[in-house]
Structure 1
Amino acid sequence: DSPAARQAAYWRDALAGVPEELALPTDRPRPATPSYQGDVVPFAVDAETGSGLARIARDSGATMFMVVHAAVTALLHRLGAGDDIAIGTPVSGRGDEQLDPMVGFFLNTLVLRADLAGEPSFADLVGRVRDTGLAAFSHADLPLEAVAEAVGQARSQSRNPLFQTMVTYHSVETGVSELFGVRASELPVEIGGSKFDLEFAFGGSEADGGISGGLRFATDLFERAGAERLTERLLRLLAAVVAAPDAPIASFDLMDEAERRQLDGWNDTAHVLDGPVNLADLVAAGAGRAEGPALVFEGQDLSRTDFDARVNR
């Protein structure tokens, strides 16, 4: 078999049965044809949490990308996306050394599948993501279109095939750089739009260990307020996994105080009842309606008076 055929066989097996669409908590129903309009919610991970995530990566023999990948899948899992979650991530398309001297934008997209069955801890999930990721990165030469064809998943104009959420991570250097004697600094440019339902972009700072990022979201599906809640839950999840990486993912509290009060309000169904409040009082009160049936069983009726007399023997 050719290298392409071997890689196609790998992806056919690795992505067999992958869900066609993640059950994301959208604010709007998915349109038949996406507009690809989008917006971005920025977020920042403090240096203490960023250093804690780096520690988890070292302890797990994983990269920072693998850790944030695990965090995003854990978040989506907690929000109802299920146990089988596929995301996409861009990778260099220069796997062949013959491409080294060539100028151009060589990029491919990998589909990474995460298994969250069995209520794993976050550390367990990082290990699963690491193992799956290493296998996927060793089969990264087949173009995404060829992967989709090999998997044979039904196509739809309403969504991206194989995955609808993208995750990226890159290390960033702050300050001023120099190029050919000219001092330059980074100028962020908003490109607009959104190719995917959600795109979580992380940038790790080499200077202080913090992480800056942004959640790009499709405005066809999400209100900005909904996307902001997603980033808030992500930050709470990151802090929680740093504090207890061996705790089950299901145990992490992702709600803020306002959400908790709202939930408590919905569950506040207590109602003060007039009259008897226990079984003995109810039986005694019913005895006042002596002729009414208290118990009907196999065609026999027991009046309230008879029932009360038997209860008090």
Structure 2
Amino acid sequence: MSRRERRPPRGRAVVAPPRAMTAEPGSAVSAPSHRAAPRAVPASFAQERVWFASRMAPDASAYRIVDELVVHAEVSEADLRRAFALLAQRHEALRTALRVADGRLTQYVLPRIGPVLRHVDLTGADDARRADARRSRREELARRPFDLERAPLWRVELLELGEAEWAVVFAAHHVVYDAASRFNLHAELTEICAAAEQGRAPDLPELPLSYTGYAQGERDRLSPRRRAELAAYWRARLAGIPPVHRLPLDRPRPAARTFAGDEVRAGLPPEVTATLPGTARRLGTEPVTLCLAAYVALLHRHSGQDDIVVGLPVTGRRQADVLPMIGTFVNMLVVRVDAGGAPSFAELAGRVREAVRVEEGRDIPFQTLVELLPAPRLPGVPPLYQLAFNHVPAGGGPGGCSSGTAGCEDDLLLEVTADTVRVEYNVALVERTTAETLLADYLALLAAGVRAADTRLPDLPAAPRAGAAPARHPAGTAVGGGPPTGTAKLVADAWCAVLGTAVTDVHDDFFHLGGHSVQALRMLARLAAEHGAEPSVQAFFADPTVAGLATELERRRPRRTAWR
């Protein structure tokens, strides 16, 4: 009997799988079970944000998270399958799919599900072949898309490396998984395997709150009164916000957003890691604030812009009840910093600290913020911010899970860890040499700022730029006339009802005219309810015009699904 087929010794306790979740003996992959009816619950705000964004991406690779965990335990393939079955039983997000119902994004939670796991035997391979196989499996899982309407939105490959050693490659969609989930999954899987090896029941944290309970609770907390208060604050705070940054781009901005990305990275210089904590203490702030201040200084220098807007991911796990949960909680905070007046680096850090402090206290779901603000929408431009910053502390952070793919949600993202700086850039807009220049300048600005915080921004040194800055290329829109066909008129009427404005050009972009994602769903639901047509949400996000939606309606026949 091979090791992966062996049975546990007599008297050894193993984790019992939930009913109807066991895999067929010897199967390579456990097929999902959808026999039981799912529960339909409104999606969380974090799920809405990720879902909307991923629908606009042709590949959505930026939202696939791939991770690898090495398990050193005397466990069998069956033990690992039972472990993931237990994880799926404990955490609703691992049994969840998402669909649009009546114009609202809804999570459908199955009472039980069969985890998708594949076994790969590498026990006879040498070290080089094992390394190649592990890399190729990570890359292959990163490329494979998920159908968000079918659970589970994760998959696992069990790579058997040798006696008591497994590499577990886990891939999930960000709509059900975030960086804190990564920590929780690692901790629980390690404990379950240790318990199986030692013949005892696993000691797992209690889950006082379900993910669906959390999702409902956050909607209850965003009462009409609270929503009005937040709307008033953010309208004032972001009044006159630049619709797009002025950081020079290497290529014209496409009319539609692209999500193809690449990255450059470098280690933090030892003198920075040594000096950063002390400078932060002296200034009464945190090291991450100085890292963000250096990024603001970088954007100010390269764009000539005083009004700097940056998107920051926040964990969304302030409640103790949600800390041990697997799911997605990350929200994006829009931070606006005034870099004008030639402040010192210390003064800029103070402005950054105050902006983050005040705005964290008025945290609002990003999709709701987009809905509430009358900010102009430009074709191909992410709303409210296009430049992002992330800090990954020791043990992971809100954006610390790498997708393992060439995806980029923003024009530019700068991420700082304990010892590394990474610049992720949209390849449709930025050349690699430009990203390398920005990275070099950031390291120079950060080093100089923490070494001499009283230095004014214009006097801080930076790496020399390679060549002249290219001019920013504005994106244009197509021109056309009014609705030429009956179907286009049908769409235009729904468009007018939702946006409150008449259609004068069938090629106008829905979002450019002030529409937001929630209104888009309402319009599509209106068409489905009144005209028996079920437009493709993905097709509309790809071409958000009356002409595009009319073409989609003419192409598709009305249909109903089992979920409705």
- TM beyond 0.5: yes
Instruction: State yes or no: 1:195 paired with 2:373.
Output: no
Using the alignment, how far apart are the partners of 1:97 and 1:156 within structure 2?
Answer: 39
Using the alignment, how far apart are the partners of 2:313 and 2:327 within structure 1?
Answer: 16
Matched residue of 1:110: which SS?
strand
CA contact (8 A) 1:110 1:136 kept: yes
Using the alignment, how far apart are the partners of 2:394 and 2:304 within structure 1?
Answer: 31
Structure 1 match to 2:457: 249
Q: Residues 15 and 248 (structure 1 numbering): CA distance in 2 closer, same or farther, change over 3 Å?
A: same
Using the alignment, how far apart are the partners of 2:233 and 2:344 within structure 1?
Answer: 28
Letter in 1 for 2:413: E
Q: 231, 236, 250: which is aligned to 2:444?
A: 236
Letter in 1 for 2:378: S
Letter in 2 for 1:114: V
Q: Residues 82 and 196 (structure 1 numbering): CA distance in 2 closer, same or farther, change over 3 Å?
A: same
Structure 1 match to 2:236: 13
Structure showing greater relative contact order (alpha-carbon pairs closer than 8 Å, 6 or more residues apart)? 1
Q: 215, 219, 238: which is aligned to 2:427?
A: 219
Provide, for residues 130-168 of structure 1, a one-character-per-residue CA deviation record: whole Å limited to 9, x for no partner.
11110011111x211111222210112311111101101
Structure 2 match to 1:159: 381
Q: Which one has the largest radius of gyration?
A: 1
Matched residue of 1:2: which SS?
helix
Using the alignment, how far apart are the partners of 2:386 and 2:431 within structure 1?
Answer: 17
CA contact (8 A) 2:290 2:450 kept: no
Matched residue of 2:422: which SS?
strand
Using the alignment, how far apart are the partners of 1:21 and 1:152 within structure 2?
Answer: 15
Matched residue of 2:392: which SS?
strand
Q: CA deviation at 1:27?
A: 1.1
Q: CA deviation at 1:14?
A: 1.4
Using the alignment, how far apart are the partners of 2:368 and 2:279 within structure 1?
Answer: 35
After superposition, residues 107-186 of structure 1 pair within 5 angstroms as 107-140=330-363, 142-172=364-394
Letter in 2 for 1:191: T
Using the alignment, how far apart are the partners of 2:408 and 2:463 within structure 1?
Answer: 27
Using the alignment, how far apart are the partners of 2:334 and 2:229 within structure 1?
Answer: 17
CA contact (8 A) 1:22 1:81 kept: no
User: Identity of aligned pairs, percent?
Assistant: 34
Letter in 1 for 2:282: D
After superposition, residues 77-88 of structure 1 pair within 5 angstroms as 77-88=300-311
Using the alignment, how far apart are the partners of 2:302 and 2:374 within structure 1?
Answer: 28
Matched residue of 1:39: which SS?
strand
Matched residue of 2:417: which SS?
strand
Q: CA deviation at 1:187?
A: 10
Q: TM-score, normalised by structure 1?
A: 0.71
CA contact (8 A) 1:9 1:150 kept: no
Q: Residues 7 and 96 (structure 1 numbering): CA distance in 2 closer, same or farther, change over 3 Å?
A: farther
Instruction: State yes or no: 1:65 paired with 2:288.
Output: yes
More strand by share: 1
Q: CA deviation at 1:18?
A: 1.3
Letter in 2 for 1:125: L
CA contact (8 A) 1:64 1:169 kept: no
Q: Residues 95 and 7 (structure 1 numbering): CA distance in 2 closer, same or farther, change over 3 Å?
A: farther
Structure 1 unaligned residues grouped into runs of 5+ = 175-185, 205-210, 264-313
Structure 1 match to 2:249: 26
Matched residue of 1:123: which SS?
helix
Q: Residues 5 and 103 (structure 1 numbering): CA distance in 2 closer, same or farther, change over 3 Å?
A: farther
Matched residue of 2:463: which SS?
coil
Provide, for residues 81-126 of structure 1, a one-character-per-residue CA deviation record: whole Å limited to 9, x for no partner.
4000000011122345665575421111100111111110000000
Q: TM-score, normalised by structure 2?
A: 0.41
Residue correspondences, number? 242
Provide, for residues 258-294 of structure 1, a one-character-per-residue CA deviation record: whole Å limited to 9, x for no partner.
96xx89xxxxxxxxxxxxxxxxxxxxxxxxxxxxxxx
* RMSD of equivalent CA atoms: 2.4
CA contact (8 A) 1:92 1:107 kept: yes
Q: CA deviation at 1:225?
A: 1.1
Structure 2 unaligned residues grouped into runs of 5+ = 1-223, 469-564
Structure 2 match to 1:52: 275
Letter in 2 for 1:90: P
CA contact (8 A) 2:243 2:378 kept: no
CA contact (8 A) 2:408 2:426 kept: yes
Structure 1 match to 2:199: none
Letter in 2 for 1:235: L
Using the alignment, how far apart are the partners of 2:322 and 2:435 within structure 1?
Answer: 39
Q: CA deviation at 1:238?
A: 1.3
Using the alignment, how far apart are the partners of 2:323 and 2:424 within structure 1?
Answer: 32
Letter in 1 for 2:260: Q
Matched residue of 2:393: which SS?
strand
Using the alignment, how far apart are the partners of 2:308 and 2:235 within structure 1?
Answer: 16
Using the alignment, how far apart are the partners of 1:192 and 1:225 within structure 2?
Answer: 17
Q: Residues 100 and 44 (structure 1 numbering): CA distance in 2 closer, same or farther, change over 3 Å?
A: closer
CA contact (8 A) 1:24 1:76 kept: yes
Structure 2 match to 1:295: none
Matched residue of 1:30: which SS?
coil
Structure 2 match to 1:37: 260
Q: CA deviation at 1:173?
A: 5.4
Q: Residues 104 and 231 (structure 1 numbering): CA distance in 2 closer, same or farther, change over 3 Å?
A: same
Letter in 2 for 1:110: L
